[in-house]
Structure 1
Amino acid sequence: MSEVGRHRVVRPEDFAALRPDDLEARLLGKPATMARRDVSRGAEVSLLSARKFWHALGFPNVEDEDAMFTEADQFALVAVARLVREQELDETTALAMTRAFARTTDRLAVWQTQLMAEALADPALEAALDEADARAVPNLAAAEAAARKLTDMADELEPLLIYAWRRHLTAAISRMLADADPQQSAQGVRRVVGFADLVNFTSLVRRMTERQLAVMVQRFEALATDIVTAHGGRVIKTVGDEILFVTIDAAPAAAVALDLVETMAEDELLPDVRVGMAVGPVLSRLGDVFGTTVNRASRLTSVAPGGGVLVDDALASALAALSGFETTALRRRTLRGIGPVTPSELRRAAGGRQATASAISSRKASS
Structure 2
Amino acid sequence: CLWHCCCLFLLMGEQNRVPLARAKRYAINPLGYKWEHFNITYKITKFPNTLSKNDTRKAIRIAFNKWSDVSPLTFTEITKPNKSADIIIGFYTFNHTDCWGSPLHPCFDGLNGELAHAFLPPRGEIHFDNHEFWILGKSRFSWKQGAWLNDLVQVAAHEVGHALGLWHSRDPNALMHPNATYTGQRNVAQDDIWGIQRLYGCLDKKRVCDPWARLGFCERRRSFMKKHCPQRCDLCYEPLDAVTTPTSPPANVKIKVVPRGKVVGFRCGTKNTRVPPKVSWYKDGEQLVTSIPGYISIKGRDLRIVANEFNEGTYTCRILRRGSVVSANSWAIRLKPERSSNNS
Q: Normalised by the size of structure 2, how large is the TM-score?
A: 0.30
Structure ranking higher in helix proportion: 1
Q: Normalised by the size of structure 1, how large is the TM-score?
A: 0.28
Greater RCO structure (CA 8 Å; 6+ sep):
2
Structure ranking higher in strand proportion: 2
